[in-house]
Structure 1
Amino acid sequence: MAKTDPYQALRNKEFRLFLVIRFAMVLAWTMQFIVIEWEVYSLTKDPLALGIIGLMEIIPAVSLALFAGHIVDQKEKRKMLMWCLAGFFTISTLLFVTCLPSIQNSFDTKLIVGAIYVLVFFGGAVRSFISPTIFSLFSLVVPKKDYANGATWSSSVWQMGSVVGPALGGFSILWIGVHWSMFVIIGFTILAFVLLTQIESKPILNTKIGEPIGKSLKEGLKFVFNTKEILGAITLDMVAVLFGGAVALLPVFAQDILKVGPTGFGFLRAAPAIGSFITIIIIAYFPITVSAGKKLLFAIFGFGLSIIVFGISDWFIISLLALFFSGVFDGVSVVIRQTILQLKTPDNMRGRVASVNSMFVGSSNELGAFESGLTAKLMGTVNAVIFGGVMTCVIVAGSGFVFPQLRKLDLSKADEDE
């Protein structure tokens, strides 16, 4: 067996720039979501309001996903990402204004919350373009032979941002307040834009420029549904994240159950990403190849168990550890799934495939947030979290039979086929 170089993809300058850009974007995105969650719950004291945040983002993200993938496949990827960053900058600036004390003291609380929902909605629209653009740009700055290693580092950076972003969001709320936290988010967005100018323009690999949108979208969907490894991984992860979306209720746990305030909230929000980050770094040195499908099923089952423990616990340390291990298991899932997508997707269809993935998996985070908020309203916060964890375990237990190709997945053979 050939020795694996864990730093192979990092020797590429443009990929290093890509990673820093992605890190800054994830910092901005996750920090903004944390700040919005805290502000909305502080204004409403209603867990359903947290679910509505997820719903307002998922509606445009899902509605525009396939269209966004079609557009991304037709356009130059660096320029597309610049437009996405400009859109995110505009939304963050408007949120900064909305969160100013002078504005909030001048308008009714319902109007302020409504304005936040509207801006979150437009953020979801921007997000529908960001996901396929980032996925497509990855393949243009990383040689194909380094896809697996590059996907691991890209996932590591995403998880690192998911660690620092929530913690920074919690601490910034405590130290400088909600509105100035939004100002920090704007700074990260500007940094990402400046660094993006250092990456050269990339060729458009899609040879079917001007293809009717209906035919283009049909081709993308057909590819995903005919590639059973991709379909199985996307479906399983979507359902697991949908029912395991306990993080949407963390403001309730932090403020009302564990009573740990904004600092504890930041640690709780960061715990899953810390677990994922550590796991992904380990995977960079010891790649998951043999029996990857079985390990994926085991990881998501472990994720469900961790969510159940979190729901049962009323001790901060136990809750923190449960969320940490949920991240450990999720880290395995992320690396396997991203490697499958990069290895199995043709260059000319990356935008559309990433959009389908975003529709089912990425958007399930927000749909899971709405499901968690709704079930918390109906059966109580603790029962809602336990219910989600149990459903995740039940679904995973049956998935090995529903998707036998996924259960038998071996990434070492997939890599050789490429």
Structure 2
Amino acid sequence: MAGTTANQMLMVAVGWQMYDLTSSAWDLGLVGLFQFMPALLLTLLAGHVADRFHRGHIVAATLGLQGVVAALLALGSVEGWISRDWLLGVSVLLGVARAFQMPAQQALTPMLVPPAMLPRALAFSSTGQEAAVIGGPALGGFIYVAGASHVYLTCLGLFVIGSALIYGLHYPRLATSREPLSWGTVLAGVHFIWRRKPLLGAVSLDLFAVLLGGAVALLPIFAKDILHTGPEGLGVLRAAPSVGALLMSLVLTRWTLRRWPGRWLLGAVGVFGLSMIVFGLSTSFWISLGALALSGAADMVNVVLRSSLVQLETPNEMRGRVSAVNSIFIGASNQLGEFESGSAAALLGPVVATVAGGVGTLCIALLWIRLFPSLWHRTRLEAPPES
């Protein structure tokens, strides 16, 4: 929670500072692209590392690196040498940290609970994470009023706390991979998902849906130019999807969607696309807020079902590498989606770009029913019997 809060605050501050410096939708999109490229290049290697070494220590190190980034941004803001190029440079460092953090963190969760409790445990874990995602952007937006350096120093403190807590985590060391580093071991996660069509459909669905439908990178533009609010309003808008996600995670902690998980997954993506269309057309702060909250609730259904399918079907010695592939899809849908949103907004305008993305997401959900019928017809959220 400490690390997620800090990361969300950092993203709000970097986005607002970049838009203050350049007033460019293209540059907001580049922030996402510069975070995505290290993830694309390093995540498969990071999955191999997560299967060989202590996953808690890996997560602690990545939080420490993000703390270094926050310290550099604080220093640059105080001394006045923060520039567009500096913000893009630290985005690369954040991408490197996330590349190693996500596979280790995802593969760690199934080691802490019995398999039968995993879907509820993932929903419960998401409750804490979403609480941090709600508080982080809102807190970051309000602190930014006092200056960007204040946000970055707060992030530094939270990253230090998060790193120390996760470093002290103990868990049973089950079977881990001892295979030497090679192209075969690095790509083992890709081969694993490719052979299991329901998994391939679930992770690729998130990639294309959020790639087209995400509008997070454009929130500074909507906040400032369309909804006419300041950094505190941006913080609230940024937190709104997590409010919906938090409420949905509480529901999923109590009631697991074990029946027809594929249909729930595809339906949730359709709702996400509809909410993006409403957000893009809205000129009311409150309607926009509601649409973003609905998108977060739909996305939480997607996250819990997809994560449960991946973790339930993957043996422990493969979880790091399989989680790495899942992380690439997630990173592509988020960071590359921010670049797509920024470039589309620069070409078409933010409203047209957001509405077109929402329509595209609806089309993807319908197309995936035809392309991945095994996902649509999946009847139970449980590991399939061994063949």
- Assess if the C-alpha contact under 8 Å between 1:65 and 1:129 holds in 2: yes
Kindly report which structure 2 residues correspond to 1:254-269, keeping only aligned pairs within 5 A, or say none: 254-269=223-238
Aligned length: 386
Cα gap change, 1:197/1:58 in structure 2, threshold over 3 Å: closer, same or farther? closer
Moved more, 42-51 or 135-144: 135-144
Kindly report which structure 2 residues correspond to 1:309-328, keeping only aligned pairs within 5 A, or say none: 309-328=278-297
Q: What is the TM-score with the length of structure 2 in the denominator?
A: 0.96
Match of 2:69 among 76, 91, 98: 91
Unaligned runs of 5+ in 2: none
Kindly report which structure 2 residues correspond to 1:270-281, keeping only aligned pairs within 5 A, or say none: 270-281=239-250
CA distance in structure 1 between the partners assigned to 2:125 and 2:59 by the alignment: 16
- Assess if the C-alpha contact under 8 Å between 1:78 and 1:202 holds in 2: no
1:47 partner amino acid = A
- Assess if the C-alpha contact under 8 Å between 1:76 and 1:202 holds in 2: no
Match of 1:79 among 57, 63, 88: 57
CA distance in structure 2 between the partners assigned to 1:384 and 1:79 by the alignment: 41
Instruction: Identify the residue that residue 142 of structure 1 maps to in structure 2.
Output: 113
Matched, 1:386 2:364: no
Instruction: Identify the residue that residue 52 of structure 1 maps to in structure 2.
Output: 30
Matched, 1:182 2:152: yes
- Assess if the C-alpha contact under 8 Å between 1:35 and 1:170 holds in 2: yes
CA distance in structure 2 between the partners assigned to 1:92 and 1:160 by the alignment: 21
Instruction: Identify the residue that residue 410 of structure 1 maps to in structure 2.
Output: 379
Kindly report which structure 2 residues correspond to 1:182-331, keeping only aligned pairs within 5 A, or say none: 182-200=152-170, 202-203=172-173, 205-206=175-176, 208-331=177-300
Cα gap change, 1:243/1:193 in structure 2, threshold over 3 Å: closer, same or farther? same
Post-superposition CA distance 1:223-267 (Å, at most 9, x none): 011111211100001100101111110000111111011121111
Matched, 1:374 2:343: yes
Matched, 1:29 2:7: yes
- Assess if the C-alpha contact under 8 Å between 2:144 and 2:231 holds in 1: yes
Cα gap change, 1:201/1:226 in structure 2, threshold over 3 Å: closer, same or farther? same
CA distance in structure 2 between the partners assigned to 1:73 and 1:365 by the alignment: 25
Match of 2:136 among 165, 169, 192: 165
Moved more, 381-390 or 73-82: 73-82
Unaligned runs of 5+ in 1: 1-22
Offset, 1:410: 2.7
Cα gap change, 1:417/1:149 in structure 2, threshold over 3 Å: closer, same or farther? farther
Instruction: Identify the residue that residue 16 of structure 1 maps to in structure 2.
Output: none
Matched, 1:155 2:126: yes
Instruction: Identify the residue that residue 333 of structure 2 maps to in structure 1.
Output: 364
- Assess if the C-alpha contact under 8 Å between 1:268 and 1:320 holds in 2: yes
CA distance in structure 1 between the partners assigned to 2:238 and 2:151 by the alignment: 16
SS in 2 for 1:64: helix
1:116 partner amino acid = L
Post-superposition CA distance 1:271-311 (Å, at most 9, x none): 11100110110111111111111111111001001100111
SS in 1 for 2:283: coil
- Assess if the C-alpha contact under 8 Å between 1:31 and 1:168 holds in 2: yes
CA RMSD of aligned residues (A): 1.6
CA distance in structure 2 between the partners assigned to 1:142 and 1:96 by the alignment: 39
1:186 partner amino acid = L
Post-superposition CA distance 1:102-152 (Å, at most 9, x none): x22xx4xxx711011111101101110000111122122223332122111
CA distance in structure 2 between the partners assigned to 1:210 and 1:223 by the alignment: 16
Match of 2:86 among 91, 96, 115: 115
Instruction: Identify the residue that residue 97 of structure 2 maps to in structure 1.
Output: 126
Cα gap change, 1:77/1:385 in structure 2, threshold over 3 Å: closer, same or farther? same
CA distance in structure 1 between the partners assigned to 2:193 and 2:179 by the alignment: 22
- Assess if the C-alpha contact under 8 Å between 2:61 and 2:163 holds in 1: no
- Assess if the C-alpha contact under 8 Å between 1:70 and 1:213 holds in 2: no
Offset, 1:202: 5.0
Cα gap change, 1:271/1:144 in structure 2, threshold over 3 Å: closer, same or farther? same
CA distance in structure 1 between the partners assigned to 2:63 and 2:157 by the alignment: 12
Offset, 1:375: 0.6
Q: What is the TM-score with the length of structure 1 in the denominator?
A: 0.89
CA distance in structure 1 between the partners assigned to 2:71 and 2:174 by the alignment: 32
1:239 partner amino acid = F
- Assess if the C-alpha contact under 8 Å between 1:75 and 1:204 holds in 2: no
CA distance in structure 1 between the partners assigned to 2:152 and 2:205 by the alignment: 34
CA distance in structure 2 between the partners assigned to 1:183 and 1:202 by the alignment: 35
Offset, 1:81: 1.9
- Assess if the C-alpha contact under 8 Å between 1:74 and 1:204 holds in 2: no
- Assess if the C-alpha contact under 8 Å between 2:120 and 2:252 holds in 1: no
CA distance in structure 1 between the partners assigned to 2:178 and 2:25 by the alignment: 46
Offset, 1:313: 0.8
CA distance in structure 1 between the partners assigned to 2:266 and 2:96 by the alignment: 32
CA distance in structure 2 between the partners assigned to 1:251 and 1:323 by the alignment: 14
Offset, 1:196: 2.1
Matched, 1:350 2:328: no
Offset, 1:64: 0.5
CA distance in structure 2 between the partners assigned to 1:310 and 1:116 by the alignment: 28
- Assess if the C-alpha contact under 8 Å between 2:36 and 2:332 holds in 1: yes
- Assess if the C-alpha contact under 8 Å between 1:51 and 1:370 holds in 2: yes
SS in 1 for 2:231: helix
Instruction: Identify the residue that residue 70 of structure 1 maps to in structure 2.
Output: 48
Instruction: Identify the residue that residue 306 of structure 2 maps to in structure 1.
Output: 337
Offset, 1:183: 0.6
CA distance in structure 1 between the partners assigned to 2:331 and 2:121 by the alignment: 20
